[in-house]
Structure formats: structure tokens, C-alpha cells
Amino acid sequence: MPVGLKELPPLHPVAGVRWGVASAGIKKPGRRDLSLLELAAGTTCAAVFTRNAFCAAPVVLAKQHLAARAPRWFLINTGNANAGTGEAGLSDAHACCAALGQLAECAPSEVLPFSTGVIGEPLPVSKITSGLFAARANLTERGWEDAAHAIMTTDIVAKGASRQFSVGDVTVTVTGIAKGSGMIRPDMATMLAFIATDANVSQVLLQQCLTDAVATSFNSITVDGDTSTNDACMLVATGRVQHAPLTGACAIYQGLCAAVREVCEQLAQAIVRDGEGATKFITVEINEARSVTEGRQVAYTIAHSPLVKTAFFASDPNWGRILAAVGRAGVAELDLKALTIFLDNVCIVRNGGRAPDYQESEGQRVMKQEEITIRVNLARGRHTARVWTCDFSYDYVRINAEYRT
């Protein structure tokens, strides 16, 4: 079961946003696999997409549509990624947008498509277009929970987060859902995330808010080091709350950025906690680096090490694997005698080797926990970096070996 994850928390409706879901039979009959998100007129939209060169057809088309005009609809399907499908995939994605445009009486370019699932298989356009009417008929402002379930693939649990904050007599809501469990690595992950607020904010400020939030959340996680073809994180602002125009320094905008960051970080952590086969949630914290980039380099070298991850699955305090990962992270002129390494508060490495006061029993105690922090102090500067990851278990291999069966 996912590490420390419970049922979905209460998800506050966002004025100007409605979700509708349906079963289109894309991969399995009877499963909710088609979602529509309707956006009120005047909604602004910010986005971050995968950096994988083989980005999926829906990513290509969503970027084109977003550059042309503000979206009124998101169309999301699971069970098929529509990636690695060439020109036919682009044509299929456009056909789905056109079908929804005809049904909703809007331009196809006002529809943003999103897909997740198996790579390399043709998109079942007829199944998707046939399911649009049912999904649209189910539209409701309280559809966040149903949508959180409908966008899942190998996820075990649905993922959602919600915040509200007030400045004077103005109350702003931020609610988001996400999916992701495997093929998770920054830039971004095999994930979809949809976040909405009722604040009235310009597209420029909204994009800055999302970019900053993603840096400390979805781009600070890894399950297996694989960057997906379909990643997308969307933040929309419906403008339904009445307040003065926002500036970068005003209290409402600062509160909005804090709320969006908290929602993104909660969703990002949920993805790692639900990592395929995960039994441990691991925070890798690098301190005293010369730069954030250097700190992240060390953090990801540790987080991506199969030897480190399997040791955590076995609850084996094999600290030599962590030491070796730090040593091969490519940090120039690393002073081995100055750095220290901790498991939680247990010092395992000092003065270039095993800490003299380290006891194996203390390391074993920490490793048996479900949540563990690896802390490395490089003694080189004042910058810090943090990455969330998980262990590798037998189930990770099984899930991915059986993914298409």
C-alpha cells in the first residue's frame, strides 16, 4: 500500500470549474477513463509540460492550442498515451478536440487534450468521442473526487489537495488533483496535474506562480529516473473572486503562490508515496552545497541509485552505498574529511569514513521506518537542495513487467 497515504482529503469546489467523467472502455470496460474539465469564460491558464523530445501528440497539440487562445475545456483520457504515434496521433488528438468542440459549440483550439497510458498504440478515437456526451452530462463543480479517480493509471490511490486562505474579506480557493506512480523523474514525471483557483490573476503572474511551485514539487521527485512523454501540469484561474488587480508584491498574490506551492508539494509527495511497489518514503536533503544545482546533482545521484533504493527496501543500513553515490556525483574537489552523512539524526559518515560513534543498531532502527531522511552536509557553501524518492521493491519489477498484459 502507498506509504502514509489515506483517503482523499476534502476538495473544495472552485467557482468557474466543473468536472465530468465517464466510462469509455478505452482499456478496460466499466472503468472511468474519460474526464472533461469545463472552464468559465475569461479563465487564464498556465502550463508546464514534459521536456522529453518524444513528447506525446496531446502535448504537442495542447501547446499549439494554448498559444492560440485561452482554453474552455480540458479533455483527458487514461489507458492510452497517444505517444510514439506520429502524424496519425496528432490527427487523432485533433479529431477528439473537434468532436468536443462540436458538442460544446466552441472552437477545437479551445480544447486542450491530455492522455496517459500505454505508449505506441493508436488512440481509440471512436471510444473517446462516443463517451463525450456522458462525461458532459455529468458536469458538476463537485466533480473533483470523481476526476481524481478517473485520471489514474497504475496509481493505487487517487491524489488531491485543497487550500483556502483569506486576505481581509477576500477568500481564495486552490484545489488540485494529480496522477502518477511510475515513470517518475523531474522535467516532469509521467504525471498529469490539474490545479484551479478562483483568484483573478494575469496569465504572466499565474505562469510565474506555477513555474516556481513546480520547481520545489513535481520537479523535485523521482521514483525510477524515467521522464515520461506525456507530462503536463496545468494551473487555471477563473477570476470569480472579486478583488483589486494583483501585483507580484500584493498579499493576495503572495498567498496564492504559497497555496499553490503547498498543493503542488502535497500532490508531488503523494505520487512518490504511491510509487510503483514503494514501501519507503525517502527525503534526500543536501546542505552546504556551492549551488542549488550542485546540491540537486548529489541528491539525484543518491535517489536514482538502484543499490541505495534496494537497500532501503530491505531495511539494510548499508551506508557504503550512500557514500559511494555521493562520491560519484561528479562534485569537483570534494573534501571527503569535511562532509558528513546522516540517516535521520544518526551520523553514519564523518572524517572520510564510518563515524566512530556509529552503531549498526541505530542505523537499523532508522531503516525500519516507513519515512526516512538522508542528509548530506557537503561543507562547501550555503545552498541546499531536497528531493523526494522511494525504494525499489519486488513489486516495481512485477508491475512494469506486466504493464501491457
Catalytic positions are 190
| Residue 55 vs residues 50, 79, 87, 94, 279: alpha-carbon distances, Å | 7, 17, 13, 16, 30
Residue keyed to cell 510565474: 208
Distance, in Å, from the CA atom of 45 to the CA atom of 31, rounded to the nearest integer, reads: 29
| DSSP for 116-145, written as a single string | EEETTS---HHHHHHHHHHHHHT-BTT-HH
| Residue 226 vs residues 40, 60, 106, 158, 380: alpha-carbon distances, Å | 35, 20, 37, 21, 30
Q: Identify any residues that bridge with 10 across adjacent strands, giving them in sequence order.
A: none
Under 8 Å between Cβ of 264 and 214 = yes
Amino acid of residue 183: M
Distance, in Å, from the CA atom of 267 to the CA atom of 362, rounded to the nearest integer, reads: 32
Distance, in Å, from the CA atom of 256 to the CA atom of 246, rounded to the nearest integer, reads: 10
Question: Which among 180, 131, 109, 174 is positioned nearest to 25, based on CA atoms?
Answer: 131
Amino acid of residue 206: L
| DSSP for 302-331, written as a single string | HHT-HHHHHHHHTT---HHHHHHHHHTS--
Residue keyed to cell 497515504: 5
Under 8 Å between Cβ of 236 and 48 = no
Residues with Cβ within 8 Å of 163's Cβ and at least 6 positions away in sequence, in order, are 173, 174, 175, 259, 262, 263
Residues with Cβ within 8 Å of 73's Cβ and at least 6 positions away in sequence, in order, are 36, 37, 38, 39, 100, 104, 106, 110, 111, 112
Cell of 195: 490545479
